[in-house]
Amino acid sequence: MIIVMDPNAPASAVDRVVAEIERMGSRAHLSRGEFRTVIGAVGEEGTLDQNHLASLDGVEKVVPIMKPYKLASREFHEEDSVVEIGGGSVPVVKVGGSHAACIAGPCAVEGEEMLYKIARHVRDGGATVLRGGVYKPRTSPYSFQGLGIQALQWMRACGDELGMPICVEVMDTRQVEQMEKYVDCFQIGARNMQNFDLLREVGKTRKPVLLKRGLSASVKEWLMSAEYVLSQGNRGVLLCERGIKTFEDSIRYSMDISSIPVARQWSHLPMIVDPSHAAGKRDWVGALALAGMAAGAHGVIVEVHYNPAEAQCDGPQALLPETFKELMGQLRQIAAVTKKEFSEAAVTAGA
Strand pairing of 129-131 and 99-105?
Answer: parallel
To the question of domain 2-63 being in CATH 3.30.70.1140, the answer is yes
Separation of first and last alpha carbons in the chain: 50
Q: Which fold has domain 83-342?
A: TIM Barrel (3.20.20)
Residue 160 CA, distance from chain mean position: 21
> For residue range 48-87, what is the model confidence (pLDDT) as tens digits?
888 999 999 999 999 888 888 999 999 889 899 999 999 9
pLDDT at 350: 47
Rounded CA-CA distance 217/213 in Å is: 7
Residue 32, pLDDT score:
81
Q: What does the pLDDT read at residue 46?
A: 66
Query: What is the Cα–Cα distance from 202 to 228, expressed in whole angstroms?
Result: 9
Length of the chain (residues) = 351
Q: Where are the domain boundaries for CATH 3.30.70.1140 in the chain?
A: 2-63
In tens, the pLDDT along 106-164 reads 999 999 999 999 999 999 999 999 999 998 776 777 677 778 999 999 999 999 999 99
3-class DSSP assignment, residue 311: coil
Question: What's residue 180's pLDDT?
Answer: 97
Pairing of strands 59-63, 2-5: antiparallel
Tell me which residues of the chain have a pLDDT lower than 50.
349-350
Q: What is the DSSP code (8-state) at residue 347?
A: P
Residues 6+ apart with CB under 8 A from 302: 102, 103, 104, 274, 275, 276, 285, 289, 319, 324, 327
pTM, whole model, 2 decimals?
0.89
Domain with CATH 3.20.20.70 in the chain: 83-342
CA pair distance 290, 300, nearest whole angstrom:
9
